Amino acid sequence: MDWHSFLPKLLSMIMSLLDSGNLRNRVYQLNEKLELARVALDDINRIDDIKLIKQIAQRTLPKL
């Protein structure tokens, strides 16, 4: 077995696994933030009496 080619490939696989785990965690965090934004805009749309803010919330909700 040629250790000079095996070791870099093994290290590369390990680093790739770590990167994919970090990426998955970031995607989950972004999904949570997106859901919070949707809930906040929905609440603004439902509760707020100021028409300008309500219009902004109504225009932003479909974009999320």
So what's the pLDDT on residue 1?
63
| DSSP 8-class letter at 48 | -
d(CA 24, CA 26): 5
- In this prediction, residue 34 carries a pLDDT of 92
| Residue 46 confidence (pLDDT) | 84
**DSSP-assigned letter for residue 21:** H
CA distances from 38 to 9, 28, 29, 44, 64 (A): 43, 15, 14, 10, 7
Q: What residue ranges of the chain have pLDDT lower than 50? A: none
